[in-house]
Each structure stands twice: as C-alpha cells, then as structure tokens.
C-alpha cells in the first residue's frame, strides 16, 4: 500500500511520485492550504494539500482530524527558502498531495501522541496509543535487534535454543510462585517458573552441552522500577566449563547485543570480589561511573576519646567505621544541607552521620576534639583529603553501616549539585566470590540457590564459605549472574545438610533433579541476563515498564485489560475451587 516510510524520503527523492501511509499527527489550515504532519513508525513528514494542485485532496483534507488513518499519494518537493524545519529529519521536503484517502477515523484521543508529561496510569490504560510514538518504536526496534544479536552470537558459539516448560512444579526459589490450579488433578497446582534453572541443568545431564533460551519468568514479589511480575531473561547453560569459560561467553553475548544497538563496549570487564564490593561500595552491585569509595578508619577511631566510637571499634569482626570522602563538598553544601544528610541515612538504620570539613587551616568539625593531632593527620592521609573536601563517616554494626553508607554514596553521586555521574558511560563489573550462605534469625540460607558449587566446605563458620558464583553489574544495576553448579551427589548432600534440608524434604522438593544428577552429570554452569533491565539501561529509561510492550503497574495489575479479574463460578467449579467470603472490617 506504500512506496516508502515517511523518513525514508529526503532531498534525493525530489520529483518522485510516492505513496505514504500513517496517522495524522496534526493538521493546520493556512489561508486555504492545509498542512498535515503524517506520522508512521519512523517519524513525521509534511503533507501539503493545495486546492490548486488537487481540489479533491484538499476537500478530503478539510475532514482530517488527529489520529485519522491516511493514505496519501503525491510528489516530493523541496520546501521553500526559509521554510525548512530543522527539528524534523524530513524538514527540507514536503509531499504535494494529489490524492488523499481517509482509511479510518479516530475518536478524540486522551493525550497527544509523543507527550512525555502524561501520567503513567493514563499511558498504560491507552498503551496502544503510546506505542504509536516513534520514540517508543525505537525502543522496541533496539530490543528486537538485541534479541536477534543474542541468538546469532550464541548460535555461532554452538548453543542450541531449547524451550522449557511454563507449567511446572512449585520449588522454593526465593520469591513466591504464581500458582495455576489443575482442572484434571483435583487440589493440585502447577507453578509458573521463576527461572528455567532446574530444566537447564537437566538438559546438561541430557548431553545437550550448550543451551540457551530467551525465557519468560514469573515471580510474585513486591515490584519496583526494575521489576515486573513477568519478565524476560536470556538463559544460558554449558557443560565441561569453569567460571572463566562462562564469563567469556557472557561478555561475547553482551558485546554483540550492544553492537546491535550501535554501542561499542570493551571486554574484558572489571572484576571485584563480593567482599571488596561490600567494603568499598556498600553494595554487591556497585555503580563504578564515579569514584567515591569507602575507607576503613576503625583502627583510628579505636584510639579516640569518644566512648561510643571506642566501644564500636573494639569489635572489628562484627562492626565497621567507614569514611566516605566527597570532593569539594564543603564548597557545595551548606552546613544545614550536610546535617540533613543524617536524616537520609537514619531511614536505613543509622544512628547518625558524622563529618569533618577540610579547611585551609586543617580538619574542622565538632568531633575533632576527640582525636589527637597525630590521628587527625592520619585521617587526612588515609582519606586523601584536600581543601574543600568533606569526609562523612558511619559507625555501627557491619551489615547496617555498609548498607546505609553504600546508599549514601549513591545519594551523594546523584545529588543535583554534585554532577558526578557520566550518563553516557556503561560501567560493567563482575562481582565474584560470593558467600555460599547467609544466616538470618539463626537459620542458614543459600545466598543464590542450593545447587551453587562451593569453593570449599572446609570452614568452621558457614558464612566464610565462598561459592563459584558471579554477577554482572552495569551502572549499579544487577543485569544478571550465575554460577558453576553442583554435579556431585556427595557435595549436594553436604550443602543440604548445612541448609537443614533433610533427605526426605530434598527429595520432595527437588527429587527429579537429584535423581538425574546420579546418572553421570557433567560439570556445568551458566548465567542469566535480565533482558528487560538491559534494554532499560541501553535506552536510558528510568523504568523497566518503558521497555515492555504491555507491562503491569507497581501493583501487578494491567490497567489496559483490567487483569487480574474475577472469573465466573463455572470456571471455579471446574477447578474445584471455592472462594472464601471476605469478612468486611
């Protein structure tokens, strides 16, 4: 029906007869000549309907309104001198229309296509209208290019794309499962997969050697800007590999995907141990686009005359005193602003936030009186202070201090007065050597999942056991990660024992995998990358919802389709389900 897309045309097409299709972005009647900006997925071009060229086309143009579907036939012409529009790719040309067809009319639209100030609820209710915006189309064009690049590079490297079940068994994987009742099996449920983890390990037992899948995953968890109840991940598993092999494949994959989006990245990426990430940046997903790094000063504070600090410093194995130098902060922030920072960190468990200012005549601040001149000089040296800098410090229990100081580091970097972040940078880092376990309320839990291979189980303290696990982080966002898996029955039994999982419970929850691992399972490992998060970062969007065609709200509902919704009693009876009547408060 068309000869070109709107922005395919330029000055080289002047004089050509063309047929264009699209929507009326807007129309203007200037003294009898009607101008229509026609829009398709590529952008805009101006249609000029002059009665001297075609009375019939001009008459039709009189009836055009916003978002009418149009077919326009005409000739490409240069715009007159001084009439070009530099904001448009096609701003030097126009189409002199000799035939105009209104293919379909449109009801009045609730917002102007391309308006970036429309509320999210309205945008999601009329998502199909928002998708008409060429900027939105560009996001999904890049998403498609990245997916194709992923398939091509993995295929080139010998990986086979295999689909795994969507209706599967409920297994504990960290978040709540979405459950699907079975009509055939009364009282029993399928679960939607949180990941293809167990099935991809079964494929390795099955000798597939190298597998991948662009997989739909489902998690019933609290939502935020980078989470959705259903999301897409690029899932990869390989046999007879070590950590270095897996990381090389992941870096090749990311390089190809970024190249498809016209961005060059340079592997190998930086690496950092989990312990260093926490101690220096207070996070296992550090943003390395800026340099702010925490420094240990607990040994200096141990000698001060403040009893609070000396008591904390007496237990360096469970406590931390961390300093964070902010260059030039004394010249940027008022004392009132610096005091307000304390209110920010208190939200995350801090009891306070001390600070020293580096002046021309030395270190100043209300707490300097508790330190000797030698220790003040040591603080200046260790934190590399220069005139105009401020050093903030937090003290207390290790986990709490690292958390709120890490958050404070990000808060300062993102502050409008600091301008520390290069928005065009892509700062990758591998975080490796994760702890195998964490202890919460006296209970040992797997930090990743119970099939992660430990480096060694020969430790008295389970929290000191490291795993062969790795996360890939980009600009402070965890893109994904993976691990080398346990493929030996004896190691798996020992891990279950440390987790307090008895053999009967393990068989009930993971029996099909454990049975498979007994039949000559090869060494294997892999990774998964959050595809939606990756596209969000590539396109510099602030929410994952902007890169999913039909996303859910933060309350896990779809405003467009009004899902979830009630179903009729017949459907419930078929599923052997009776709803409990809610008691009104």
* Tokens coding 226: 């980078």
The answer to whether 20 touches 6, Cβ cutoff 8 Å, is yes
Between CA 583 and CA 585 the distance in angstroms is: 6
- 419 confidence band (pLDDT: 50, 70, 90): confident
Neighbours of 239 (CB within 10 A): 19
The per-residue pLDDT for range 226-255, each reduced to its tens digit, is 889 999 999 999 999 999 999 999 999 999
> How big is the CA angle at 39 (ends 37 and 42), to the nearest 5 degrees?
130
When computed from its CA atoms, the radius of gyration of the chain, rounded to whole angstroms, is 30
The lowest-confidence range among 27-36, 96-105, 203-212, 281-290 is 27-36
Does 585 score more than 60 pLDDT? no
The per-residue pLDDT for range 107-144, each reduced to its tens digit, is 999 999 999 999 999 999 999 999 999 999 999 999 99
The answer to whether 291 touches 383, Cβ cutoff 8 Å, is no
Residue found by looking up tokens 């389709």 in the block: 561
Between CA 184 and CA 182 the distance in angstroms is: 5
As to burial, measured by CB atoms within 10 angstroms (0-12 exposed, 13-18 middle, 19+ buried), residue 203 is buried
Does 447 score more than 90 pLDDT? no
Q: Which of 435, 436, 432, 434 is nearest to 494 (CA)?
A: 436
The answer to whether 172 touches 509, Cβ cutoff 8 Å, is yes
In total, the chain counts a number of residues equal to 585
Percent of the chain with pLDDT over 90: 86
Overall average pLDDT of the 544-552 stretch: 95
Instruction: Please tell me which residue, 224 or 427, carries the higher pLDDT value.
Output: 427
pTM above 0.75, yes or no: yes
List, as one string, the DSSP characters of 501-545.
--HHHHHHHHHHHHHHHTTTPPPEEEEEEEHHHHHHHHTT-S-GG
DSSP, collapsed to helix, strand or coil, labels residue 256 as helix
User: Which one-letter DSSP state was computed for residue 249?
Assistant: H
Q: Which of 561, 529, 537 is nearest to 232 (CA)?
A: 529
The per-residue pLDDT for range 368-398, each reduced to its tens digit, is 999 999 999 999 999 999 999 999 999 999 9
Per-residue pLDDT, 389: 96
Does 583 score more than 80 pLDDT? no
Per-residue pLDDT, 508: 86
Between CA 448 and CA 345 the distance in angstroms is: 28
The whole-chain average pLDDT of the chain stands at 94
Overall average pLDDT of the 16-38 stretch: 95
Per-residue pLDDT, 129: 96
Overall average pLDDT of the 14-20 stretch: 97
Does 17 score more than 80 pLDDT? yes
The per-residue pLDDT for range 255-314, each reduced to its tens digit, is 999 999 999 999 999 999 999 999 999 999 999 999 999 999 999 999 999 999 999 999
- 580 confidence band (pLDDT: 50, 70, 90): confident
Overall average pLDDT of the 197-225 stretch: 93
Overall average pLDDT of the 477-487 stretch: 96
What values do phi and psi take at 18, rounded to 5? -135, 160
Q: Which of 53, 58, 23 is nearest to 41 (CA)?
A: 23
């Amino acid at each position: 029906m068309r000869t070109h897309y709107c922005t395919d045309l330029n000055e080289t097409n002047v004089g050509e007869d063309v047929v264009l299709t699209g929507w009326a972005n807007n129309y203007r009647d200037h003294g009898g000549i009607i101008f229509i900006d026609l829009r398709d997925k590529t952008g805009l071009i101006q249609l000029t309907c002059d009665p001297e060229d075609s009375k019939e086309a001009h008459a039709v143009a009189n009836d055009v309104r916003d978002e009418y579907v149009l077919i326009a036939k005409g000739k490409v012409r240069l715009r007159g001198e001084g009439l070009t529009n530099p904001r448009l790719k096609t701003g030097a040309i126009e189409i002199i229309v000799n035939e105009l067809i209104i293919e379909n009319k449109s009801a009045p639209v609730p917002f102007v296509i391309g308006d970036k100030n429309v509320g999210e609820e309205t945008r999601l209710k009329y998502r199909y209208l928002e998708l008409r915006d060429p900027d939105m189309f560009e996001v999904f064009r890049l998403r498609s290019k990245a997916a194709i690049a992923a398939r091509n590079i993995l295929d080139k490297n010998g990986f086979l794309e295999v689909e795994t079940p969507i209706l599967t068994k409920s297994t504990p994987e960290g978040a709540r499962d979405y459950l699907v009742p079975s009509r055939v099996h009364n009282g029993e449920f399928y679960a939607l997969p949180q990941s293809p983890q167990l099935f991809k390990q079964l494929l390795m037992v099955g000798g597939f050697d190298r597998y991948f899948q662009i997989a739909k995953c489902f998690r019933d968890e609290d939502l935020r800007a980078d989470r959705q109840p259903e999301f897409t991940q690029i899932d990869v598993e390989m046999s007879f590999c070590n950590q270095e092999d897996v990381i090389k494949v992941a870096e090749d994959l990311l390089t190809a995907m970024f190249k498809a989006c016209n961005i060059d990245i340079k592997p190998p990426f930086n690496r950092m141990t989990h312990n260093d990430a926490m101690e220096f940046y207070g996070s296992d997903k550090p943003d390395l686009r800026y340099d702010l790094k925490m420094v240990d000063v607990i040994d200096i504070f141990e000698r001060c005359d403040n009893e609070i600090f000396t008591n904390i410093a007496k237990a360096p194995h469970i406590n931390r005193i961390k300093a964070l130098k902010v260059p030039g902060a004394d010249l940027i922030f008022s004392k009132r602003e610096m005091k307000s920072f304390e209110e920010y960190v208190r939200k995350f468990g801090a009891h306070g936030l001390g600070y020293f200012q580096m002046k021309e005549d030395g270190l100043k601040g209300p707490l300097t009186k508790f330190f000797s001149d030698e220790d003040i000089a040591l603080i200046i040296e260790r934190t590399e202070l220069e005139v105009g800098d401020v050093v903030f410090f937090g003290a207390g229990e290790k986990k709490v201090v690292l958390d709120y100081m890490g958050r404070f580091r990000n808060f300062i970097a993102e502050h409008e007065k600091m301008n520390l972040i290069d928005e065009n940078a892509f700062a990758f880092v591998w975080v490796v050597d994760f702890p195998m376990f964490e202890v919460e309320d006296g209970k040992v839990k797997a930090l990743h999942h119970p099939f992660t291979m430990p480096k060694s189980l020969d430790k008295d303290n389970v929290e000191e056991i490291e795993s062969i696990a790795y996360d890939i982080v980009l600009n402070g966002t965890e893109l994904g990660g993976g691990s080398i898996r346990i493929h030996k029955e004896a190691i798996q039994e020992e891990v279950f024992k440390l987790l307090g999982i008895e053999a009967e419970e393990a068989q009930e929850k993971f029996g099909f995998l454990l049975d498979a691992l007994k039949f000559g399972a090869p060494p294997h490992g892999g990774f998964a990358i959050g595809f939606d998060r990756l596209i969000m970062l590539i396109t510099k969007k602030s929410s994952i919802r902007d890169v999913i065609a039909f996303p859910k709200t933060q309350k896990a509902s779809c405003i467009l389709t009004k899902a979830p919704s009630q179903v009729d009693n017949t459907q419930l009876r078929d599923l052997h389900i009776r709803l409990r009547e809610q008691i009104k408060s």
